[in-house]
Amino acid sequence: MFKSTRQHPIVIFTGIFKELKSFVGPILIALLLSRGDGFLSFDMFFFLFLGGMLILSLVWGFLKWFFFIYDYEDGVLHTKSGIIIKKHRYIKKERVQTINLKAGPILRILQLVSLQIETAGGFAEPELNIAAVSISKAKRLKELLKSNHEKEVNEGKKEVTEERKEEAKPVSNHRHVLSFKTLIVAGLTSGGVGIIFSIIGIVFSQVIVFIPDEMWEMFFEQFMITVDQFMASSIVGAIAFLVFVILITSWILSAARMIISYAFFTIERGGDDIQITRGLLEKKQLTLKLHRIQAVTIIEGIIRQPFGFATLQVEVAGGASQDESYTTIIHPLIKVSQIQHFLDEMIPEYKYTQADIKPLPKRSLKRYMIRGVAPFLLLLPIFYFVPFAWIGSIIFLPIGYLAYRRYKDGGSYVKDDMLQIRFRKIARVTALVTKSHMQNLALSTNFLQKRSRVTTLSTTVLSAPACMIFSVKDVCETAAKDVFAWYSRSTL
């Protein structure tokens, strides 16, 4: 039993910042309208408007906190919420799939956590989010929802037998902690430079219109002086130098983002649960049930693969958290040679091998090269008519090499109850799927593939918010039919 209680009052104040996000537009309008002298001068109008927004947010946050009550009794978690429209939610513990704990800097100072409860029916967001609760209450509620039998409570006193205590002990226990050195390497090789580079470009394109012309002139004058110190003054050199600076900045920000997100990364197996804890500024604790894991993916980035490193992910059925409930990283950086040992301890159902994967036939190479290079052939007229644009034809070298690597890395392998599919987009991905978790297996062949006696092999696993499809193109027809025959056989 868990008596009716409210969240910690800190949610009243933390909710103000969330509410103010919706007032960004009105605040900007207030800034534009607050011109002139008199009573509605800039300072008076703006601060009156901002003060009104803060008071409204504070009142709204207090009402939301006051009317949100939760309790647990007879295996059911019950919540009551709503200011105008009352909402009652009942969650049976049998429906609970994942219980996550998160704590940002403010919550950690106050010894509080955010408790997120996910069920198989949730997709866009957690089924229930208790924003601020004490660590002891969160752990107590987590144990109640995870227990296999309801604990007896008599007038607030717990009576737990020795047999129940033995049942609570984990069947097995394995623990891995990511070292700081490994975390630094993971950050520097994370491959998130492109994402950060794009974000910088988007922000720059939105902010550029608000920068005065005088500031632009001063910036370019100083920038050209800096460029002159490294290379001959030219517009091409200036642009190249600017791109180089942005790339280095993106690389540093990408590494910092990885380090902050995965600091103190710890993964622990206890019984049928896997618990992952990570985060420097915001501490996150994720609990996965083994039966929810549908597939294991091994991702070898273009920077990590030459050094023998990879990232391990699992595809999870059900859940609702948008960041990491259905595609969860269970190891940010691991040596490929240590993957099987790690799986034996954490997810022994999955087996990984590299040597036995059946490669693609030689006749598939031409198809991969054509698919990789053909879209860029449209640039040939530009290279011909635009002066010095032919220098850009160097792009065909990396594009051609990537197409070749996609051909070399493709393949499949089946053994016992396990299908292994390997393919490459940018990073090389190896998917491990058991027959019992495969929703289907498909062989699709177009008329061009039929002439080359190749086909596309794909399988689907249950995930959230949608199914995950793993496929490799231009597999030998004979090898694909062998996989199909393996899948068609009864598992009995």
- Residue given tokens 């660590």 in the structure block: 135
Of the CA atoms within 13 Å of residue 256, those in its CB half-sphere come to: 8
State the pLDDT at residue 128: 80
Could you tell me which of 466, 146, 135, 469 has the C-alpha nearest to residue 322? 466
- The reported pLDDT for the residue numbered 140 is 86
Cα(181)–Cα(365) distance, integer angstroms: 39
In the structure encoding, which two tokens stand for residue 33, read together?
A: 């309208």
Residue 103 bridge partners (DSSP): 283
pTM, 2 dp: 0.72
So where are the chain's domains?
2-153+160-169, 193-262, 266-360+410-488, 364-405
Report the candidate in 397, 360, 383 with the shortest Cα–Cα distance to residue 472. 360
Which pLDDT value is given to residue 145? 80
pLDDT-flagged residues of the chain (< 50): 36-40, 124, 148-171, 232-233, 320-322, 324-325, 491-492
Termini Cα distance of the chain: 43
Half-sphere exposure of residue 463: CA atoms within 13 angstroms, side-chain side: 22
Enter the DSSP assignment of 363. T
- Could you give the strand order of the β-sheet that contains 454-461, starting from the edge strand earlier in sequence? 438-444, 454-461, 468-476
pLDDT in tens, 273-295: 888 999 888 888 888 888 888 99
DSSP for 240-299, please give it.
Answer: HHHHHHHHHHHHHHHHHHHHHHHTT-EEEEETTEEEEEE-SSSEEEEEEEGGGEEEEEEE
Antiparallel, parallel or unpaired: β 309-316 and 327-335: antiparallel
In one letter, which amino acid is 45?
F
Question: Which residues touch 323 (CB under 8 Å, ≥6 apart)?
Answer: none
Q: What is the pLDDT of residue 162?
A: 43
Distance CA 93, CA 77 (A): 7
Rounded Cα–Cα distance for residues 284 and 9 (Å): 21
- pLDDT tens across 96-145, in order? 777 888 888 888 888 888 888 877 655 545 668 888 888 888 888 888 88
Q: Report angle CA 240, 246, 250 to the nearest 5 degrees.
A: 145
Order of all β-strands in the sheet with 76-81: 2-5, 69-73, 76-81, 87-92
Q: Measured over all CA atoms, what is the biggest interatomic distance in the chain, rounded to whole angstroms? A: 88
Provide the sign of the torsion angle of the four alpha carbons 58, 63, 66, 70, taken in this order: negative
Residue 354 to residue 430: CA distance in whole angstroms: 9
**Block residue for tokens 């370019």:** 220
